[in-house]
Amino acid sequence: MTNLQAPPKGSRLKGVLTDDEIRVIWPILEAWEAEAIHAQHIMASTGKRSRSGSPTTVDTPRAAMLLFHTGCRRQEIGDLQWPEVDLDNAELFIPGSRRKSRKSKEDEMGLCVPLTDGAVKILRRVERRPDRENVFGYTKRPGLDLCNLNQKIDQRIKNAGGTPPKNWRIHDIRRTVRTRLAALGVSRDVAEALIGHVGFRNEMERTYNLHEYWPEKRKALAMWEANLRAIIDGTAEKISAPTFGQRKKENSA
């Protein structure tokens, strides 16, 4: 470890959101959605156009909340299409053509993601538009670009008098979901299948273990949703996560 280069101060590579950070972000998303809906109502009653009440604006916080509920990648949700959504059976299907990596047959087949009750409620609030199949977005570009969403959230947190998480990224949400699944006791096979990671499985496992873990994935996400709600409400049990330096001291004691 002597010659290992330390990361730059202030950097937050491969970050996971803490309970306190989630409690800062989530109310902002709810307030953002409520504000946009209110602006839409005003726009409809007066006949005036309002940028703050555009469908794209109200879509943005909803898409962000779905990232927390599903653990999907940013554009898997941003480019979500209604044919990929089955609200009656509470599930999503992300086709292989929209997956980040298509190096295996499992990637090419696509990814089935269960929807929690909270995720279904969010999607039921989204108005279907007859002129397009995309769930989110109302610009010339199909879908919704969530690339700089963390910056928009940060600004709203600051406007509300709060302090945003330091140097966080939208992908931290996905890492947070995966990390919390492990903390909740979800097995690696189930958690990795849930977020669509297949690289950890060797060729033998891919050939002989064809179980899709669907019941287990649904149960795991239900556990995470309950934990997420408890975090937001401030009733979740804190999970101790000592830093590397703390672990060294504990091991030497």
Residue 241 has pLDDT above 60, yes or no: no
Average pLDDT, the chain: 84
pLDDT for 207: 62
Give the other-Cβ count within 10 Å of 253's Cβ: 5
Mean pLDDT of 87-105: 79
- CA 57 to chain CA centroid, Å, is 18
For 86-130, what is the HEC assignment? ECCCCEEEECHHHCCCCCCHHHHHCEEEECCHHHHHHHHCCCCCC
Out of 3.30.70.360, 1.10.443.10, 1.10.1240.10, 1.20.1560.10, the CATH code matching 19-234 is 1.10.443.10
Q: pLDDT tens digits, residue range 56-76?
A: 689 999 999 999 999 999 999
**Domain extents in the chain:** 19-234
pLDDT for 129: 84
Mean pLDDT of 83-102: 86
pTM more than 0.85: no
The model's confidence at residue 46, banded by pLDDT at 50, 70 and 90, is: confident
Percent residues over pLDDT 90 in the chain: 58
